[in-house]
């Protein structure tokens, strides 16, 4: 088995673990808090808040038809898989792949299994629960562990790709450092 195949297999295993943890936490939130109920963790900074997100990341595209959200998700995942391919022989590639796919799997499970009946339509949703704010001055949209994993994974991908590009430029002959 090639090194790349080993890394891909381990990344998929870790992604499933991340998705499983995400689903467990979402289940605890749904069982413990009523919809829109909050539990302060660090007063005026961090709360657990049970919300339903019928849009995409951070509530964007809430009014978009479900087919558009699905198509956008497939497009973004395809772009990610194309971008990550050169890094699949490294630990950084393993981490990025596990985080992004784990987060995507976690939210996709919600999107496929959770339905909210709205006036005139049924909308699939994702359970969000992490609410970060600084008093009333700054309020971040409510998100979940899966969202955080995707954002951290994409951030790591950007760092890894910038470091590789910088290494190509800085090294005589164009070989990456």
pLDDT tens per residue across span 9-56: 999 999 999 999 999 999 999 999 999 999 999 999 999 999 999 876
CB atoms < 10 A from the CB of 81, how many? 13
pLDDT of 61 over the 70 cut = no
To the query of whether residue 128 is one of the catalytic residues in this protein, the response is yes
Q: Are 142 and 42 in contact (CB under 8 A)?
A: no
pLDDT of residue 164: 78
Q: For residue 71, what pLDDT band results from cuts at 50, 70 and 90?
A: confident
In a domain, residue 101? The reply is yes
In a domain, residue 118? The reply is yes
Cα atoms found within 13 Å of the Cα of residue 53, Cβ hemisphere only: 27
Q: Based on the structure, what is the number of domains in the chain?
A: 1
In a domain, residue 168? The reply is no
Among residues 110, 128, 136, 175, the one annotated as catalytic is 128
pLDDT of residue 90: 86
To the query of whether residue 136 is one of the catalytic residues in this protein, the response is no
Domain range enclosing 33: 3-161
Kindly state the DSSP code that residue 138 receives in the 8-state scheme. E
In a domain, residue 122? The reply is yes
In a domain, residue 32? The reply is yes
**pTM of structure:** 0.83
Secondary structure (3-state) at 61: coil
Among residues 22, 110, 136, 147, the one annotated as catalytic is 147
Q: Are 111 and 23 in contact (CB under 8 A)?
A: no
């Amino acid at each position: 088995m090639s090194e790349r195949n080993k890394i891909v297999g381990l990344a998929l295993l870790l992604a499933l673990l991340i998705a499983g943890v995400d689903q467990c936490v979402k289940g605890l939130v749904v069982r413990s808090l009523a919809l829109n109920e909050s539990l302060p963790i660090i007063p005026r900074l961090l709360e657990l808040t049970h919300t339903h997100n019928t849009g995409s990341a951070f509530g964007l595209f809430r009014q978009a038809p479900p087919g558009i959200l699905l198509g956008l998700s497939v497009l973004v995942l395809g772009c990610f898989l194309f971008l990550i391919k050169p890094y699949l022989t490294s630990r950084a590639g393993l981490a990025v792949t596990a985080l992004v796919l784990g987060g995507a799997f976690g939210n996709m499970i919600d999107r496929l299994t959770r339905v909210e009946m709205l006036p005139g339509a049924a909308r699939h949703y994702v359970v969000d629960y992490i609410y970060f704010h600084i008093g009333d001055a700054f309020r971040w949209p409510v998100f979940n562990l899966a969202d955080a994993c995707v954002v951290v994974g994409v951030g790591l991908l950007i760092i890894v790709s910038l470091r590789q590009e910088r290494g190509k430029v800085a090294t005589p002959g164009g070989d990456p450092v």
